[in-house]
Amino acid sequence: MSSKADLQALRTRLETALEARQRDLGPDHPDLASDLRELGRVAHELGDFPDAQALLRRAMALHTEGLGAEHPETATDINHLGMVLHDLGDLDGAQAAFERALAIDETALGKNHPSVGRDANNLGGVLKDMGDRLSARAALEWSLAIYTAALGTDHPTTKTVARNLSRIV
C-alpha cells in the first residue's frame, strides 16, 4: 500500500496528465475514461469519496458511450463505484453496483474469468456486511474457485479471497 504522500503525488501526476489529454482530445473523448477511472481509484484510496464518485461516474459515462453499457470496461467502472459506495456505507447501492458489474462480466467474459472473480469477491464482502452470510459464502466460494484455477493457491489475490471466506462465520 502506498503512503498518503505517494498517493497525493500520484494524484497530482494523474491530474496533470488528464488535463493535457483533455486539451488534446476534448473533455468528452472516450479515451479519457481509463484515466478518469485511475484518478477516481486514487481519490478513493485517499478518502476523497465525493471526487472519487464524480470521476468514476464520468469514466462510466464515457466508457458506456464509447464501448457500450455491457462492456467489461464499463463493468470495471461500476465495480470501482461499488467499492466507493461500500466505503460510504451505502450497502444497497454497493450491492446493486457489484451485481451489475458481475452480470456484465459474466455475460461478456464467461463465468470463470478473473474479472468475474473480482466482482463476486466484492459482492461477497457487501453481502457479509449486510448480514447475508449464506449468499456471501456462495459468492466468495465462487470467487475463490475462479482465482484458484486462474492464478493458483499461492497468488496474493487468491489468498485474500480465501481470507475473506474464512471470516464468514
In a domain, 128, yes or no: yes
Rounded to the nearest 10 degrees, the angle between the axes of helix 114-129 and helix 72-88 is: 20
pLDDT at 95: 98
Domain for residue 94, yes or no?
no
Domain assignment of residue 39, yes or no: no
pLDDT at 122: 98
pLDDT tens, position by position, 21-42: 999 999 899 999 999 999 999 9
Q: What is the pLDDT of residues 54-103, one digit of tens each?
A: 999 999 999 999 999 999 999 999 999 999 999 999 999 999 999 999 99
Given a cut of 70, whether residue 1 has pLDDT beyond it is: no
What residues make up the domain containing 108?
99-169
pLDDT in tens, 61-73: 999 999 999 999 9
Does any domain span residue 36? no
pTM here?
0.92
Return mean pLDDT, the chain.
96
Question: Do you know the residue count of the chain?
Answer: 169
Looking at the domain assignment, is residue 125 inside a domain? yes
Q: pLDDT exceeding 90 applies to what percent of the chain? A: 95
In a domain, 158, yes or no: yes
pLDDT, position 169: 72
Per-residue pLDDT band at 136 (split at 50, 70, 90): very high
Whether 83 maps to a domain, the answer reads: no
Question: Coil, helix or strand for 106?
Answer: helix
Per the structure, how many domains does the chain have? 1
CATH of the domain at 104: 1.25.40
- Any domain includes 116: yes
19-44 b/e (C-beta count within 10 Å ≥ 16 → b): eebeeeeeeeebebbebbbbbbbbbb
